[in-house]
Amino acid sequence: AFFGQPLNKIFPQADQLPQPIMDMLLELRAKGPHTVGIFRKSANARQVREIRERIDANGSRMDWNGVNAVVTAVVFKDFLRSLPDSLLCSGMYDQWLQVAAMDGQDSALEKIKGLCDRLPSANVTLLRHFLCVLLHIVANSSHNMMSASNLAVCVGPSLLWAPVAAANATAAAAALNPALALSAEATASKQVPALVAVLIDKCSILFGAETVIFF
């Protein structure tokens, strides 16, 4: 199996992407900038499931010729959501939201750097390569209609979610005070995309100029 596994189990080395992930990112780098609504549009569920099953069965190189970029984007988001822990680490969820609320100030960038330094090496490797792809998509946003903020709304929930204990507590709170729970959920639904938009916009500052030329 490939989907649903922790990154440290499927990465050959912490700084080396597994072949299926590298293949998907290369496809998204090549086709994503020229695909309107990439990461926003949905894909045929059967086709997505079949590709997932092939990757799970082989765990290595598959032929992506003829696969629509929208389908590849959905499969990649499915992979991120299948991780036992979110790429940005759910244990740091509250700290990420606090940084997002700082609205991109210089001090926020320092705090983001600090949080990124606490991520496992494999997480950082995947995050940097994914941000490289997103940057190239943003560079062609006049064609694909996907700005950094638009992409952040679409991929943010796949990069960071609340830890299970917090989610259970929120559900319990919702039963007691639905209005308060809805307010907290609405805040998080804005702050996660805001955070991811900063990661995209400032990725060369946060992760080094070489990040933009991985692909």
Tens-digit pLDDT profile for residues 114-155: 999 999 999 999 999 999 999 999 999 999 999 999 999 999
Distance of CA 28 to the CA centre of its chain: 13
pLDDT at 104 over 80: no
- Structural class in CATH, domain 7-213: mainly alpha
Where b means 16+ CB within 10 Å and e means fewer, 45-83 reads eeebeebbeebeeeeeebebeebbbbbbbbbbbbbbeeb
Place of tokens 């998080």: 188
- Note the pTM of the prediction, 2 decimals: 0.90
Q: What is the pLDDT of residue 170?
A: 46
Give the pLDDT band of residue 200 (cuts 50, 70, 90). very high
Domain layout of the chain by residue ranges = 7-213
pLDDT grade for 62, boundaries at 50, 70 and 90: confident
